[in-house]
Structure 1
Amino acid sequence: MEFSLETLLTLSIVVFFILSVYLIRSRSHLKKTQELLEKKQVELDETDKALKKIQDKYSAIIDIETEVENSKKEKETIHLDVKALRDSYKEKRALFDKLVQEAAIYDEEIQLAELGFYKPHFDFDTSEKYKEEIAKVKAAQKEMVASKEAIYCNTEWTVEGSKAKGRTMTNRGIKLTARAFNNECDAAISNARWNNVDRLVQRLEKAFDAINKMNQSNAIVISNVYFNLKLKELRLAYEYADKKQQEKEEQQEIKRQMREEAKLQQELDKAEKDEEKFKKMLEKAQREAEKSAGSKLDELNEKIASLSQELEEAHEKSERAKSMAQQTKIGHVYVISNIGSFGENVYKIGMTRRLEPLDRVKELGDASVPFIFDVHAMIHSDDAPALENALHKKFDLKRLNLVNSRKEFFRVNLTEIEEEVLNISPDAEFIETAEARDYRESQSILAQQKELKSKQDSVNELPLEI
């Protein structure tokens, strides 16, 4: 189809018009879109500003929440680590305790508290009976060795097809076993002391088990009966030594009592001599007075009165000494302290039968302690041993020495002692405050020396030149 030029021109104008309209509309739409975008950008910027303000305002909370989450994760990790460490520690502690227990058998420096106290297995009255029992146990061991019941072999071995060579090998094995085990036992028995006897028992048990285990391949066995005899010997040896020590201390106490009795007798002899001396002096003065007169007689009468008083006092002292010498229970129970030597609230509760009981206190404060004792109570009693024993029983658990009851020191408040004494002897008098003169003066001197040194040090710190 052919179009005329006019028609084509008309069509071109129409197309151009349509495109122009579309372009205008597109530009308008684009502008509106641009304006909308700009408006949205402004809104977005405002939103960002608002959001930033909110973030700035609540940043701490947001950070905390983040930290809380992180902390929770970290806590869980740490918790797992702690659990793993605890499990590991538990395993290692169990192994450590086992090793300590085994090492304690051989370690002489392990504390006694970790090993427990030895409980006596025998109750013989004298060390001589212990000695006799040890001899019996050794004889029983010797008999078992001789009869080959101590260490034996359950198998008849052959060496190179020879039973004789097998017996020779077995006998040598038994001898080696006996030497090893007996040496271990002898070493333990000779070294048994108060702080290691239980450990030595465990050591022998270890040696018995170890040697028997090593001999399993050749069927050589240390018998349980022989082992128990060795344990019995060990315990007897220790208790024998302990009993001898007790007897030694008892002998020392008896000697002390004998010294007390001897001094009491000396005091009695002195009191009787003094009484006899004053008696003779009085008789002499009375004879002279019969022959005198005037001022001489007055002098003699005064002398007679004075001598009569002294004679009466000497007689009373002599009678007291006789009474104490004849009656072994009359004496004094004393309560004394020594702050400088033993500290506060430590008291010695003892007894003396001396006519002058303070002499005993002075003896206790001799060169063996740095300071003299202070006397808090000196209680006369017709049955001093009973009073002393009652007080010792009352405060038995408060002894400083819980092993040796002959050591009479107690950690207790003086008021408690006073209350107990007054229940038994209501007339007893107590001195609450310890003078402790030597100790307190020594402390004062030390304080002065310290102050003087401090002043001297201050002077020495000053420079010689500036």
Structure 2
Amino acid sequence: MNRTSVIGLAASAVLAAAGLAAEGNASKALLAAGTASGAGSAVAALLTESKTRKRFAGVLDIEDEISRSSKNLKSVEDRLAKATGSFNSQEEAIERLRNERSEITDEVASMRADLISMRKVIEVENDLQMAGFAARRYLGIDSDALLERLKDNRTRQKEVGKSILDKCQYLNFTYNDSIPQGRAFAKRTVTSWLRGFNAECDAAISTLKHSNDSTVLNKIDKAFNFYEKKAEQQSFPWSSALSGLKEEEAFLVHEHHVEKQREKEEQAEIRREMREEERALREAEEAQRNAEREAEKYEELLRKAKEEAYSETEEAEHLSKIAELERRLAEAEENRERAISRAQMTRSGHVYVISNVGSFGQDVFKVGMSRRLDPMERVKELGDASVPFPFDVHAMIFTEDAPGFEKEIHRQIWEHRVNRVNDRREFFQLSMPELEEATAQAAKNLGVTAEIRWTRYALAEQYRQSVSERFAA
């Protein structure tokens, strides 16, 4: 496009704007001027001459007005954009606050629900406390595993108690012609029964020992039957699970007492064995001293006898006396060596097999061990006032490893033990031939070469005489 064309286009636009302005259409003039805004600068450049300026002064004024209006419009648009951005930001802030309010509302609702739930738990716990299901301490029980089992048992008891009390809320029982009052009355009544039952059972269990479990179980059964009958008479809820759980609790506590008793007896047995070893050692040392004195005595007698033999004529008689003294001296030396060996080997001793028909019946034997020089002293101790009749001895076997031989015999006949709870009770129920075979096998396993002599028949004199006198009377 050449200069003439540009000037013509600009002039046309200016004339159009001027004409519109003259008619009073300022807005249209502005629009026309705006349309020609791209050519405004060209117009300004072309109209440089003063004559031209004067001729088109009105048009130039309109152009200036258009420029100012455009600037104002840009300012308004900027403020509008800023206001719009601020408005959007405020809307976003409002939306965030609404979301926060919703979250807080949900949290408050959740906390209220938790509070209601906690109040209900506390209410139930109070009901169970009133019914005698409070946490219980078991004095003397220090086993964590056992305490955990007891805690689990008490938890299950509380669940049964809660179930019973919950059922009271659904009874069609009326009190003062009111079902709600009837249900409240039923709950109070059942609560008192549960409290009474728990109190009686807890009192019985607190008296448990290792030997009175049957008595305690009878008390639990009696208490349960008493309250169960009351519940049946009024058609109030009750549960047989209460009895089973209380018996389980009693069993767990009894198990603890049995274990404690077993430990107590083991300690007593260890102390007895220590006393036995100490006594056996003293006896061996005393036997050694006696054997040494005996040997010294026969050495002196033999020396004197030999001196007399040289001085007297009755040579044959003195030679016989010397031979007898030499024999006795050899025995004394042998006894001394045995006593020295016995004192040095504290594991040597006797394994005994005894029975007590009058106290324990037929085919019940005790297999034990003693390190004493006279093992019959131990057998007599066992037959003291704790049993009505003395023991009969079926075998007395000396061995250099009495504890080991005793243990091996026990292993051979372990399945025949009478007491399946306390392993320290060395009584076994089996026939005499079975016991002989097991003992022979134990001796073979350990290489015990001592001759084992058996007395199969139990005299049981006092027992048999007592039976005879009883029938004679």
TM-score range, shorter chain: 0.3 to 0.5
Q: TM-score, normalised by structure 2?
A: 0.47
Higher Cα radius of gyration: 2
Q: TM-score, normalised by structure 1?
A: 0.48
Q: Which has the higher contact order (CA 8 A, sep 6+)?
A: 1
